[in-house]
Structures are given as C-alpha cells and as structure tokens.
Chains A and B, each alone.
Chain A
C-alpha cells in the first residue's frame, strides 16, 4: 500500500514541478497528464484497500475528463503555435493587466 502511494506522490511531484518550471506547452501538458495519472493511481490503490469500487469509478471519470481536456488543450496549443510560431507558455501573455 505504502509503495503505491509513494509512487503516486513521486509522480505527482514530478508533474507539478514540470508544470511550474517547463516552458514548452506540450511538456507542461504532459506534466498535467502525469499529475492526473498519479491521482488515478492513488484512487485505485485506496479502492483496493477499502474493497469497493468507488475509487475506481472516480478514476474512470478522471480519465474521461482528461481525454476531453486533451482534445481542447491540444487544439489551443496548435492554434497558439500557428499564430505565434512558438509553443512557449511564457510567450502567450496577452492577458496581463
């Protein structure tokens, strides 16, 4: 049990640090997926421990939402790349105050 949670924690941390420090939008996006999957892992592990299906169902929901999010997110990234010739998240700062 501890192993699963440790792995989940490590993956989540890698993902979070990746989101914060990487500039490439694709990499940031992959890091977000990593965080989602780390969470899924934790959910499934807890479901196994409690012996019911609640956690697994939640994991499925996360996957479905993640799939939808990938569709929208990738579309945005492609569109930004087309207009600015760059996939760096720091370049897209038009909404600053």
Chain B
C-alpha cells in the first residue's frame, strides 16, 4: 500500500482537472465526483496510516521515487514522495477535513451556477496540498506551495463579479509572491551551499555548513512561511481573503493551507536546530502575530474577519511553538491539528449562520440565534470551548502545552502566550455573545432557519473532533509518533508544577471570557457599529487591522510606484527616445533619398553620363599628374 501513496495526490488531481474540462453535462454530478475523489483520498490515507502505524518506530518512513523530474549536471531532482509520521498526520487532516468541507459545500454552494468549477478548484487544492506535505524535495514542496497558492487565488476570487473579491484574490497572490521569493531563494541557497535540495539530505548535511548559512536559510524559509501562513509582516492578505466562499475560508484559510508555513518550519527542523538566530526570529514572529491577530479579532464586527484574526493568532501560537525547537515541534503540530478541527468547525458554523442570515456577515445584525439554529449553535459552542481552552477540550491540551513550553523558553514569551490565551477567550466570547445570545437585532426581511443535513453533519463531525482531539496527546502519543521526524521532545522543568500552570491558564481564560460576557452578554449590543471617532484607539487600531495596509502602502507600495513611474519616464524619454529618434532620422534621410528615383529613364542616363565623365576626368587627372 505504501507504494501507492502517490494515488492520494493523483485521484483528486485527475478528478479536478477532468471535471474542469468535461463540460456542462458534468454540472449535475461534478460535485459528487469531486467529493468521492476527496473521500477516496481520505480512505487511502487511513489505510496508509494504519500500515505505517503497524511498523516499528524506526521504520516509519517510506521514500518512493516516481520519476526523475530534473536532471542537469550535478542538479538532480526526483519526483518522489516521503511518507513519514508527520506527512501521515497532515494527509489525514487535509483529506479528512477536506472531505467534510466538500460535503458541506454540496449544500452551501447548491444555488451557485458555477458549483462544478468550485469543486474542481477544491480538488486541485487538495491535490496541491498533499503534494506539499508528501514531497521529498524542497523543489517539489515548492511545486505544491505554488499549487495551493493558485487554488487559494482562484477560490478567494471565486465570486469574481464582486470587485472586492477580485481585489482580495490579487492581494493574496501578490503578498504570497513576496513570501515565495524567500522560499525560492532558500532553495537556491541550499543548492549553492549543499549541492542538493532533497529534504533529508539538506537537513542531514546542514551541520557541515556554517551557522551563518543555516541562519540565512532559516530566515528565508521563515519569510516563505510568513507569506503562506499570514504572519507579521505578511499578514495583510488573510483578512481580505474572507471574500471567498465560506467553505474555502474554512479549508484553505483556517485548517490547512495557512498552516503550511508551520509545516515548513517543522519539516526543516534540521536547519532551524542549527541556527539559534533563525529560531529566535520564528519565536518573535509567532509572538507578535499571535498578539496582533488576537487584537484584530477583538475589534472586528464581521464574523469571518473576527475568525480570520483568530486564525492568524492561533497560527502565531504554532509558529512560536515551532520556533522553540525540539521542545515545541510536536506541540506545534498538535495545535495545528486541533486548530484544524475547531477552526474549520467554527468557519463552517459561521457559513451556516450566514446562510441563515441571507449572507449578512455583520455580527451586529445577529443576536439570539441559538434557538433558531440549534445544531449550528451546539457545534459552534464545541469549537468555541475548544479554542478558548476549556478543560477537557482539544484546544485546552494543545494550547496548554505550547504555553508551558514557552515559559520553559523565556518567561516573557510565556507571559505573551498567556496574555494571548486571555484575549482569545475575550474575542471568542464576544463573538458567541453577539451571534447566539442577547437581543434579536435581525434585519426585517431575515428569517433564520437551520441549514440542511448535508451542511450540519460535517459540523457535527468536526464538533466531535474539537471535543475529542485532545485524545491525540493521551500517553504522549503524538509526541512519540512524531519523534522519528522531529527528534526527541525536550522537556523543561518549570518552577511551578504543570497542574498549577494549567490552573493559571484556565484562570486567565476565565477572566477574558468574563470580561467579554460583562461587556457583550449583559449589556445590549448596538446594532450599528460606533464610528471610528467614538471608539478608543485600541479598537480603532484593531478595526484597521493594526494599520497593516497603511504600513504596506507607505513602506512598499508608494516607493515602488514612485520608482516605477521614474523608470517608465526614463524608459519612455531616454531609451525609447533615443531609439525612436534614430528611426525618425533614418526615415527622414530615406525620404530625401526617394526624390532622385523619379522613374525617368533620361535623368538616369544623365546621371550615368555625368558619373562616367567624372571617372574619365579623374583618370585623366591621375594619369597626367
């Protein structure tokens, strides 16, 4: 079976591309084929996982070369997959959550006339994401990396008739290009310094290179990870990406693609282990992003954007954990998986709410939806309890471990993550209160109704996973499982016992949740957002996404535009001016030369006689002289 892992990628790819070119008659059944393709990948993934788990811990890694992709002198790239415990977990997450979201989309996109195309793109995304996590070579990772970028672009801009969606897609693509540049440079550096881009060889031989090379490589990979995972400073695209259909936000911009950056860091653990500086940079980026994302989440009234801020923040946690080195890799992946469950659950729940509210995303128009949407409310609540870290839920275990590891690394970083946990509880409680509790603030023509079963069943499954995902940590299973990939997970002894640490975290979470309850649960929520001038600066900054767009505009866009204009001027007036000027002069000269050619034979004859005479005179002059 492990020789057939390539089928995981091939099935959704063939299905996606096939449906894309099939034609109109596939409109009726295309979505079913796409869903079955994704489910088939999931079944294969489960079978492969069981087979891998049946092996000895030292033997849990299969590298299978499909064909040689590039062969040029010393440069050799195989199209090969590397199936190991880390890849296996990702395969299950991507195909599992992916299949649920396919099912959900059948209901969510039922009235969209371009539903078949939507499912094609989803299939292509699944194939590209699987390529990314199964790749055995950084160049093949890059292939999947760009593939998910393309799918993300196509799906954010799926409703391209909306200018805002088209602009958001373009923005995501351009910002991701910046990150991709870092990734491409890192791969070039690997080849230049180590002579190979094979992941295993690079991570094994990085020790022989100097620390500065490892640092440069780590920072470039981090730049790539920042672009894909919407980490500061390349975070600005994620909130705009919410223009896409909600299942896309759940699958790509919450559960899977945006976590690719974390995957990259963990997969490159050899490089990051070799460079203290690069790891510190990852921790700083993660910490800043987790606080910035949480801050934004507190201020947004748009339910999807509040969740997007939360996604940024949670990925910040993962990044931070990955930056802690061997102490955190396993917990980064653990949080990534539990986050994949509960955030996909909540995004799909938000989609269900929007479905009920005629696609209104403003939480100030919601309120008291728990009775109208009982299933959505119940599943959303499971996700909510998971993300804030309610004891027993999956998020409790994963976040707890990260905060503990962060305190073991540095007390200030630990306090940052603890603060983040409190703020998470605040904004998620705010979201719950504004959406499901309080007064009805519905617009007149809205009549909320529960979504069909095809949409609520995925919600129930993901809700259960949000509740039970913590079981992965039972007996340190996930830590042992990932040990062959990320090495032994170091454990720092804290000054206080782990139980006391958990109690402190729960207390901070409780404070955050209570504050939000007092602010939004006890008091009525205005159904029109206060103007910017009426709110204090922290809210204003959060609403404006910490002025990320303005900073980009001032630091990058304007200078580049100015340079472009200067270059265009120089090109037009300088280089073009010279070339066209030369051409103009040549044209004028040839116009003048046309005149003597008048078609009159006698004038030509006169020319010949005159010339002959001239030659004769010259000859005579020479002879006589």
Contacts and interface: CB of A to CB of B under 8 A. Distances in A.
Interface of A: 16, 19-21, 23, 28, 89-90, 92-97
Interface string B70-97: 0000000000000000000000000000
A16 B606 CA distance: 9
A92 B601 contact: yes
A21 B606 CA distance: 10
Contact of B599 (A19, A20, A28, A95): A95
A94 B599 contact: yes
Nearest to B590: A97
Contacts of B596: 97
B606 A96 contact: no
25 contacts: A16-B609, A19-B602, A19-B605, A20-B602, A20-B605, A20-B606, A20-B609, A21-B602, A28-B601, A89-B600, A89-B601, A90-B602, A92-B599, A93-B599, A95-B597, A96-B597, A96-B598, A96-B599, A96-B600, A97-B593, A97-B594, A97-B595, A97-B596, A97-B597, A97-B598
A80 to B, nearest CB: 11
A28 B605 CA distance: 11
A20 B601 CA distance: 9
B126 to A, nearest CB: 68
A28 B594 CA distance: 26
Nearest to B594: A97
Interface residues of B, number: 13
Interface of B: 593-602, 605-606, 609
A81 to B, nearest CB: 15
Contacts of A96: 597-600
Contacts of B597: 95-97
A16 B605 CA distance: 9
Contacts of A93: 598-600
A23 B605 CA distance: 12
Contacts of B600: 89-90, 93, 96
B610 to A, nearest CB: 10
Nearest to A89: B601
B26 to A, nearest CB: 63
Contacts of B609: 16, 20
Contacts of B601: 28, 89-90, 92
Contacts of A94: 599
A89 B603 CA distance: 11
Contacts of A21: 602
Contacts of B595: 97
Nearest to B595: A97
A2 B48 CA distance: 117
A89 B597 CA distance: 15
